[in-house]
A and B are shown apart, each in its own frame.
Chain A
């Protein structure tokens, strides 16, 4: 890697071009992925020894967390207050808000508990857009075929079918919540093409699609009767004697105490795992994306799938240092921006599926055609000045977030290329669900990134924003229907005894506790004075 060209030298050699042809491909996609995609690093794979997925392949860092001890025991719950509700939604991103809104509109009492503040999520950071087949040349069937094919034929056909057919109605629902989309001169929704797709299907609002979506959803939730609990991470689920889920234990960071919520339905919408920094990668994910929901669900007996498959977004910023990992939307490549190696050559069809592009970037850097900064970061060029040369004004008009990122980085992307390297972006798999977000555990639902099955082994751009609303609404509706049931009053953590027995039998360490809640570098302790400045033991 050290033979890479230096940042300064590469920049001096660089000139934007009107035309540049793509050299013929030398490596087949499969071989490229196997050799260079981080999912295929064999040292990072292990086999789960406990729980319902015993024997399945899993990323080592995730396995450590899935096979960790609980953060609580019976003593913690001794004096804990119990609050009753119909539906408890865990997580305050797009999926959680959609689920909560629909559940509440269908007559359920809803509590939404979130680890940080309402809206602090990966949704708010999504840039590229949301998929929905709207154009004449496009159909839900093509959307379906593209999704299945991008996921390497590992998706659940029933889920994908619902997803693509929901697409247009999801867009309508979002407009009814007050969300704007970029429109053409006739008022039609503008679309662009995602890498790995056969039609223009991404609906968007500038490169702020997620921000626009999240701020209207947050406003909708705040203007409803949904009870929102900020700074309230869920540390465990509660069960009943029949093996169902009957509520959750919530840690109120502000009140420094545990609260038991007794709920007829629990919806986990906690998002992904980027802040676990798998394989040491930087991440484009939110501070709270630590895979909490996976751990909670797994302990209750929910089967997980595709735990060895993660998405590394090809274009994370790699320079300057303090902004490393920040995302640059695929939309920039959709508009025709090239990727160039240190020699100024293109090396991959920029609109191939994300896993292929990411692997190709890693290959360039590993084989000495990458660019290395003084801080030791590596990457290749995202040739934004070339795009600007071919379509003057497009960056400022379509990508205000990119321009704003450039200002923070002291780089003008219309004049200078940006150094990019893959950044950990998305968890492709997750909890196994049916078309209503139900898990195999009675009363427990999952929706959004924490669930699995839609994206198979690789996700298409824009399908995540569609999934969170489509399946958030589905889960919210199905969960609300259970409001007629009676609270059975059983709030047990017996499943933790089972967990501890299994961990001991398999000689697994009981030292590590899960869910993680916050990345290690935040040095968070449950007893740390969380709003002021005070050093804790965990330095």
Chain B
């Protein structure tokens, strides 16, 4: 493939270990590209390739440190002696709730604790915040949601890509990303009431605004 050749031809190479296999690869590739380049099929754990879908979770250990970090395989450039492990696991069972079953905004906090009873068990171990590849203060988000501060909690999760790593990092079995998403959803569901939208809906409903198109005119 010519494009791949252009990227990889005559480029300096590095040695990396991916899921225990040693791979020699051009230094200009991401972890996923390196795997493909070395001839390994990789479909599971590959998604948007732009760092927003949360599919390509990897454990990364770099040569100069003993620290292990959670990163995204599509966004991580290979480095000499880097060790990488793909974290492929199915999405754990979800909490089940429907926004339209929450009667009004007074009920949200009670409903939240019924849907996510484990959230108040948080023991502040920082596991969730440590593993978040987006650097979200996950633990604080959970604490805010437990206190009923859903708007503030939700705002912390703006960049959440639902990779589920925080769930795996929680010894209490909390699903912090779903807590965050719940907080975001109830905020919109109960509090977003834009007047420009409401006016426009009314004008379309009454037929005051409509569209004349070519086939009508013909």
**A residues at B contact (CB < 8 Å):** 116-117, 119-120, 124-125, 132-136, 139-141, 144, 157-158, 160-161, 164-165, 168-169, 171-172, 175-181, 183, 186-189, 206, 208, 210-212, 215-216, 218-219, 222-223, 231, 253, 277, 280, 282, 284, 286-288, 320-324, 326-327, 375-376, 400-401, 404-405, 408, 518, 520-525, 528, 530-536, 538-539
Q: Quick one: which of A120, A168, A176, A522 contacts B36, CB cutoff 8 A?
A: A522
Q: How far is the CA of A136 from the CA of B30 in the complex (A)?
A: 47
Number of A-B residue pairs having CB atoms within 8 Å of each other in the complex: 214
Query: Besides the contacts A180-B154, A216-B184, A320-B77, what 20 more A-B pairs have beta carbons closer than 8 Å?
Result: A120-B53, A134-B197, A144-B213, A158-B215, A160-B213, A161-B213, A169-B201, A177-B185, A178-B184, A189-B196, A223-B94, A223-B98, A286-B48, A320-B28, A321-B29, A376-B6, A408-B75, A523-B40, A530-B41, A534-B41
Residue in chain B with minimal CB distance to A288:
B47
CB distance from B182 to the nearest CB of A (A): 8
The SS class assigned to the A binding surface is loop
**Is A533's CB under 8 angstroms from B18's CB?**
yes
CB distance from A3 to the nearest CB of B (A): 19
Residue B204 CB within 8 A of the other chain? yes
Residue B122 CB within 8 A of the other chain? no
**Is A175's CB under 8 angstroms from B211's CB?**
no
Q: List 17 A-B contacts (CB under 8 A).
A: A117-B91, A124-B53, A140-B210, A179-B188, A188-B194, A212-B184, A215-B161, A216-B181, A223-B97, A231-B44, A280-B2, A321-B7, A322-B30, A530-B43, A533-B19, A535-B40, A538-B41
> What residues of chain A lie closer than 8 Å to B210, measured between beta carbons?
140-141, 165
> What residues of chain B lie closer than 8 Å to A157, measured between beta carbons?
213-215
Q: Can you list, as one digit per residue, whether each of B89-102 has a CB less than 8 Å from chain A (1) or not (0)?
A: 00100101111100
The SS class assigned to the B binding surface is loop
**Is B194's CB under 8 angstroms from A181's CB?**
yes
* A286-B47 contact in complex given A120-B55, A322-B29, C-beta closer than 8 Å: yes
> What residues of chain A lie closer than 8 Å to B77, measured between beta carbons?
320, 322
Q: Which of B35-56 contact A (CB under 8 A)?
A: 35-36, 39-44, 46-53, 55
> What residues of chain A lie closer than 8 Å to B209, measured between beta carbons?
139-141
**Is A528's CB under 8 angstroms from B41's CB?**
yes
**Is B193's CB under 8 angstroms from A187's CB?**
yes
Residue in chain A with minimal CB distance to B7:
A321
Q: Quick one: which of B185, B192, B197 contacts A216, CB cutoff 8 A?
A: B185
Q: Which of B179-211 contact A (CB under 8 A)?
A: 181, 184-189, 192-197, 200-201, 204, 209-211
Q: Which of B84-143 contact A (CB under 8 A)?
A: 88, 91, 94, 96-100, 134
> What residues of chain B lie closer than 8 Å to A533, measured between beta carbons?
18-21, 35, 40
Name, among B20, B99, B185, B186, the residue most crowded by chain A CB atoms within 10 Å (CB to CB).
B185
Name, among B41, B178, B189, the residue most crowded by chain A CB atoms within 10 Å (CB to CB).
B41
**Is A183's CB under 8 angstroms from B194's CB?**
yes
Q: Quick one: which of B100, B197, B204 contacts A189, CB cutoff 8 A?
A: B197
Q: How far is the CA of A231 from the CA of B91 in the complex (A)?
A: 13
**Is A531's CB under 8 angstroms from B88's CB?**
yes
Q: How far is the CA of A105 from the CA of B98 in the complex (A)?
A: 13
Q: How far is the CA of A99 from the CA of B128 in the complex (A)?
A: 34
**Is B52's CB under 8 angstroms from A124's CB?**
yes
**Is A168's CB under 8 angstroms from B200's CB?**
yes
Residue B160 CB within 8 A of the other chain? yes
Residue in chain A with minimal CB distance to B186:
A178
Q: Quick one: which of B3, B47, B181, B197 contacts A172, CB cutoff 8 A?
A: B197
Q: How far is the CA of A326 from the CA of B50 in the complex (A)?
A: 6
Q: Quick one: which of B46, B181, B187, B195 contacts A219, CB cutoff 8 A?
A: B181
> What residues of chain B lie closer than 8 Å to A140, measured between beta carbons?
204, 209-211
**Is A215's CB under 8 angstroms from B160's CB?**
yes
**Is A171's CB under 8 angstroms from B197's CB?**
yes
* A253-B41 contact in complex given A125-B52, A401-B52, C-beta closer than 8 Å: no
CB distance from A222 to the nearest CB of B (A): 5
Q: How far is the CA of A284 from the CA of B52 in the complex (A)?
A: 12
CB distance from B57 to the nearest CB of A (A): 12
Residue B64 CB within 8 A of the other chain? no
> What residues of chain B lie closer than 8 Å to A539, measured between beta carbons?
39
**Is A521's CB under 8 angstroms from B158's CB?**
no
> What residues of chain A lie closer than 8 Å to B214, measured between beta carbons?
157
CB distance from A235 to the nearest CB of B (A): 15
**Is A208's CB under 8 angstroms from B42's CB?**
no
> What residues of chain B lie closer than 8 Å to A521, measured between beta carbons?
1, 4, 36
**Is B158's CB under 8 angstroms from A400's CB?**
yes
> What residues of chain A lie closer than 8 Å to B162, measured between beta carbons?
119, 215, 218
Q: Quick one: which of B36, B47, B192 contacts A175, CB cutoff 8 A?
A: B192
**Is A178's CB under 8 angstroms from B55's CB?**
no
> What residues of chain B lie closer than 8 Å to A327, measured between beta carbons?
50
CB distance from A127 to the nearest CB of B (A): 9
CB distance from A406 to the nearest CB of B (A): 12
Q: How far is the CA of A165 from the CA of B200 in the complex (A)?
A: 10
Q: How far is the CA of A216 from the CA of B188 in the complex (A)?
A: 11
* A168-B201 contact in complex given A219-B178, A522-B42, C-beta closer than 8 Å: yes
Q: How far is the CA of A176 from the CA of B18 in the complex (A)?
A: 43
* A535-B48 contact in complex given A168-B204, A175-B189, C-beta closer than 8 Å: no
Q: How far is the CA of A208 from the CA of B154 in the complex (A)?
A: 14
Q: How far is the CA of A408 from the CA of B30 in the complex (A)?
A: 11
